[in-house]
Amino acid sequence: MHYLIAYDIAENRIRSRVAKLLEKRGRRLQYSVFYADLAERECQGLWQELQQLIENAERPLLLVAPLCSACYGRILMTGEPMEKERAYIVA
């Protein structure tokens, strides 16, 4: 399944750890927005890892939104993703 993942974390150390984990599992579209294609079990494992990383953050915001195939196919995007050589969402 396709997932859109976004976060807002003030603490540099925690934010960096979250970004590094997400870079291993998905593709960076913006500084704090990622796309990943994961099995449901993989997503649950990722969610648990992310929860552990942000547990000491003051006011973290973490969003993991599933995208069904129909929704994924209707994504509209303009501009260049940060990792344009690895990105494959194009509308």
pLDDT tens-digit series, residues 72-82: 889 888 887 87
What's the pLDDT at 91?
A: 39
| Stated pTM of the model | 0.83
Q: Where are the domains of the chain?
A: 2-72
pLDDT tens-digit series, residues 20-56: 999 999 999 999 999 999 999 999 999 999 999 999 9
Q: SS3 string of the chain?
A: CEEEEEEECCCHHHHHHHHHHHHHHCEEEECCEEEEECCHHHHHHHHHHHHHHHCCCCCCEEEEEEECHHHHCCCCCCCCCCCCCCCCCCC
Which CATH number is 2-72's, of 3.60.130.10, 3.30.565.10, 3.40.50.300, 3.30.70.240? 3.30.70.240
